Amino acid sequence: MIRPRYAFCSLVTALIAVASACAPSSPFAGPTATPLPLSRCDENPGILCLVTFGIQPPDQMLIAIRLALGGLDEVEAVVESNGQKRTYVCHASAELPRDFYCTGPQIPLGSRVRIEIFTPPSKTTLASGDFVLTAFALPTVPIGGLEAAGTAYPNP
């Protein structure tokens, strides 16, 4: 009776040790971590999601991404479209440190793109997803900017 109980306890202890050693401490841990699916934040906020596509004048495209968890200071994006891969440089927002804004060459509306988000030093892919560019968010001009430059729409 003692032997089967001892064998069972040893097996459970060994399984716990193996599971603990294999479990990553964060979703982005380790060079062999499986990339997460990248989706739009309004569809599935997840750990890492796409907020929007935008225009960065004069001829750049902007990709806004959001991390649900902190801990990353730097990310980059590789955007593939029409057989071309382009690297987009990403900067964290000072006001919202979990938001990153990536800029690179503009891609036409209607294009299919594959986006991979990765960490620059290790080139570990964090997330990837496929999208169709259906709309771009346009930059807005502050009201004070219009007044300083003179308005094309004079008040009656």
Distance CA 98, CA 121 (A): 19
pLDDT tens-digit readout, 105-148: 999 999 999 999 998 878 889 999 999 999 998 876 555 544 44
Residue 18's SS3 state is helix
Tell me the per-residue pLDDT of 74-111, one tens digit each, with 9 for 90 and over: 899 999 999 999 999 999 988 888 899 999 999 999 99
Backbone angles phi, psi at 149, to 5 degrees: -85, -10
For the domain spanning 36-138, the CATH number is 2.60.40.10
Give the pLDDT confidence score for residue 68 in this predicted structure: 83
Looking at residue 41, its pLDDT comes to 94
- Residues 30-41 have pLDDT tens digits of 444 688 999 999
What span, in angstroms and rounded, lies between the C-alpha atoms of 51 and 48?
Answer: 10
Residues 114/80, Cβ–Cβ less than 8 Å = yes
* pLDDT score of 45: 86
Structure tokens that stand for 47 in this block = 């750990």
Q: Lowest mean pLDDT: which of 38-42, 57-61, 68-72, 121-125? A: 68-72
Helix or strand holding residue 118 (H, E): strand 112-118
pTM, 2 dp: 0.68
Model pLDDT, residue 3: 53
Residue 141, pLDDT score: 59
Share of the chain above pLDDT 70, in %: 68
